[in-house]
A and B are shown apart, each in its own frame.
Chain A
Amino acid sequence: MKCKKCTKKAVINLKSYNLSLCAEHFEDFFVEKTRETIKRYKLFSKNDIVIVAISGGKDSLALWYVLKLLGYKTHGFHIDLGIKFNNYSEISKQKVINFSEKNGLPVSIVSLKESFGFTIDEYKKMGQRTACATCGIIKRYLLNDFTRKTGADCLATGHNLDDETAVLLGNLLNWQMGYLKRQHPKLPASYGYFAPRVKPFCERTEKETAAYSFLKKIDYVQDECPYSENASSIFYKKIMNEIEQRSAGTKLRFLRGFIDNKKFFSEERGVEERLDICLNCGQPTVSSPCAFCRIVQRFQKVISSERRES
């Protein structure tokens, strides 16, 4: 198969666009489509400062790279979770630092251990919750905290079309109205506290982000986190890919259709649920202390009782 734009050999066949492209034209396509998504959902502008959540995986690094190419002002933020298995956190951190240096992009790194005295490994050992539930709360909290405190305009994550449609399918199957209300490429600021969250890759497939990272020789963490246990998300991705294989373009239609019909899942506009304030950190929360402060306190309690016993 030849590239549709030139005579070179195609390296990817994008069935949902009925398009086969060579390396060079695929790279152009990928960047241009990201630009279109940013415009379509009015995610941010050239004047905004965008914090990019960087895990060290392909999606976040590719996103950072493309936003730079498109001329946006970005600042990376990475959380060192302290996961020792397979040297996961250390390798991730190193890849983030190398990437930032190679591309002249600024990054801030927060170590859970240094800032809060514990790692995900240590928390996991306490066996209170699954690692991912705790980790998710911590990441959301710290990402928002950083975005707020730096006065940046929004927080961008590397969620791709496969992530978004898998979540959407799961939320619909279980009629998770609360989650459905909040699923959107752009979550506006809320409670005068939570920074806007945006997903510029929400219309790019996981295959596209992997192909782009490969072609751009982006050195990303290939290993999965050892605690990765979200089997249902992978299961839903597989199902969506089966459907996509039969009917190309389904994933994109599914997501766009949902967004176009979002009103059916939203409460009256502008009405925010009433929330308390965390007495410890000031974050709006259903009940004080907030989930993040509870995690930190629980850990400190265990540490101090261990000290007393020894």
Chain B
Amino acid sequence: MSVARVNVVYKGNEQVISEVRTVKEILEKLGINPNSVIVTVEDELVAEDYVLKNGDKVKIIDVISGG
């Protein structure tokens, strides 16, 4: 598994994250609990072990609501 450089959108902010292999590693880098989000890559739902490619568009969607 080689490392990738990907675009990540989270809470309306876009950022480039490099040196990551899987979605799980992105979440770890950003300190996000996997139970509190769903993640899409190129608009497809993916599990945390999803292996990233250079340039992947990753979206992290918060699922926790207040109230």
**Which A residues fall within an 8 A CB radius of B?**
1, 9-13, 20, 23, 57-59, 132, 162, 205-207, 209-211, 214-215, 224-225, 228-231, 233-234, 237-238, 241-242, 244-245
Contact = CB atoms under 8 A, between A and B. Distances in A.
Nearest to B61: A210
Interface string B14-58: 000000000000000000011111101000111111000000000
Contact of A10 (B35, B47, B61): B47
A57 B65 contact: yes
A43 B23 CA distance: 38
Contact of B33 (A10, A57, A215, A242): A242
Interface of B: 33-38, 40, 44-49, 61, 63-67
Given A57-B65, A210-B61, A233-B66, A11 B36 contact: no
A249 to B, nearest CB: 12
Contact of A225 (B38, B64, B67): B67
Contacts of B63: 58, 206-207, 209-210
A23 B43 CA distance: 13
B65 A224 contact: yes
B64 A162 contact: yes
A211 B45 contact: yes
Contacts of B44: 11
B46 A207 contact: no
Contact of A210 (B33, B38, B48, B49): B38
B67 A233 contact: yes
Contacts of A224: 65-67
Given A230-B66, A234-B64, A234-B66, A11 B35 contact: no
Contacts, number: 71
Across chains A and B, which 5 residue pairs bring their CB atoms closest together, nearest first?
Answer: A210-B63, A241-B35, A228-B66, A11-B45, A230-B66
Contact of B38 (A23, A162, A214, A238): A214
Contact of A230 (B45, B46, B49, B67): B67
10 contacts: A1-B47, A9-B47, A13-B48, A20-B47, A207-B63, A230-B67, A233-B66, A237-B36, A241-B33, A241-B36
A123 B47 CA distance: 44
A214 B46 CA distance: 11
Contacts of A244: 35
A229 B61 CA distance: 20
A57 B44 CA distance: 21
B60 to A, nearest CB: 12
B45 A214 contact: yes
Given A238-B36, A241-B33, A245-B34, A11 B65 contact: no
B66 A207 contact: no
A206 B33 contact: no
B50 to A, nearest CB: 8
A57 B66 CA distance: 11
B35 A245 contact: yes
B1 to A, nearest CB: 14
Nearest to A135: B67
A242 B35 CA distance: 8
Given A1-B47, A11-B47, A214-B45, A238 B33 contact: yes
A237 B46 CA distance: 23
Contacts of B37: 207
Contacts of B38: 207, 210-211, 214
